[in-house]
Amino acid sequence: MGRTYRIAGLRKAVAERLGYSLRNSLPVALMTDYDASNLLTVYNGFKQKLGRESPSITAIITKAVGDLLRVNPSFNAVVEGDEVSEMDEVNIAVAVETPRGLYAPTIKNVDRKTVFEVEADLRRLSEKALNGTITLNELTGHSFTVSNLGHLDVVYFTPIINPPDVCILGIGAIRSSETSARGHLTLVFDHRVVDGAPAAAFLRDVKRALESLG
């Protein structure tokens, strides 16, 4: 028999929070792909100029989503029981895997920041999550969540909504060929709050925003 261990500490807390989400929401997943050519052009352009300090794919997409949330308040919302609150600030949690478990630090006011500021916040908060110094204030206050597994070669996945958010966006791998580069997105939303057609329209808008970068 291999090792036996208890689900405790952070892992237990995460399991309880996400279990609450599954028990109390009506999650529905919508998936789409998009032409990632412009996204890669922007990303590679930053990388050539700035090297290791350039914005990541996650930061670029998070910034694009933040700009859309400003004009789509029903998706920039939180739900507690039967009460839904559309938020004034666009605060996006970004999932970060660490040896201690999964954290989702919050980048505040994404729509008011440049992609470089979003990247700086993401790096700072990710480092704090990795070394265990992140604070409760830096993990709360979000109204939308982004989770990127593309770097692990995952194409589509259905992330669990991060309570009290209404939605989470899963970012999948970009598949490149000689003629195209296709990225993959999954939007999971709480059907108690958002209907399928508006959710599909929002995901379409994310797709168009990424295809029109540059």
Would you list the DSSP string of 114-178?
-HHHHHHHHHHHHHHHHHT---GGGGS--SEEEEE-GGGT-----PPP-TTBSEEEEE-PPEE-S
Cβ atoms of 159 and 188 closer than 8 Å? yes
Q: What whole-number distance in Å separates Cα of residue 69 and Cα of residue 92?
A: 10
Residue-wise over 84-104: b if at least 16 C-beta within 10 A, else e? beebeebbbbbbbeeeeebbb
Question: Is the pLDDT at 17 greater than 70, yes or no?
Answer: yes
Pick the closest to residue 80 from 158, 170, 190, 188 (CA basis).
190
Question: Is the pLDDT at 184 greater than 80, yes or no?
Answer: yes
Question: Is the pLDDT at 10 greater than 80, yes or no?
Answer: no
Q: Which residues pair with 188 in a beta bridge?
A: 29, 168
Banded model confidence at residue 110, pLDDT cuts 50, 70, 90: very high
Torsion angle of C-alpha atoms 137, 162, 110, 47, degrees rounded to 10: 110
Q: Locate all alpha helices (DSSP H) within 3-92, ordered by sequence.
A: 9-24, 37-50, 57-70
- In this predicted structure, what is the pLDDT of residue 69? 98
Choosing from 142, 151, 184, 191, which is the catalytic residue? Answer: 191
Mode of pairing for the β-strands spanning 144-148 and 92-94: parallel
Instruction: Please state whether the predicted TM-score (pTM) of the whole model is above 0.95.
Output: no
Pick the closest to residue 104 from 122, 86, 119, 89 (CA basis).
122
For the stretch 153-179, pLDDT in tens is 999 999 999 999 999 999 999 999 888
Q: Which residues pair with 169 in a beta bridge?
A: 146, 187
- In this predicted structure, what is the pLDDT of residue 213? 97
Q: What whole-number distance in Å separates Cα of residue 200 and Cα of residue 189?
A: 10
* DSSP SS3 for 103: strand
Question: Is the pLDDT at 83 greater than 80, yes or no?
Answer: yes
CATH of 9-211, one of 3.40.50.720, 1.10.3720.10, 1.10.1060.10, 3.30.559.10: 3.30.559.10
Mean pLDDT (the chain, rounded): 94
Cβ atoms of 149 and 171 closer than 8 Å? yes
Q: Answer yes or no: 191 catalytic.
A: yes
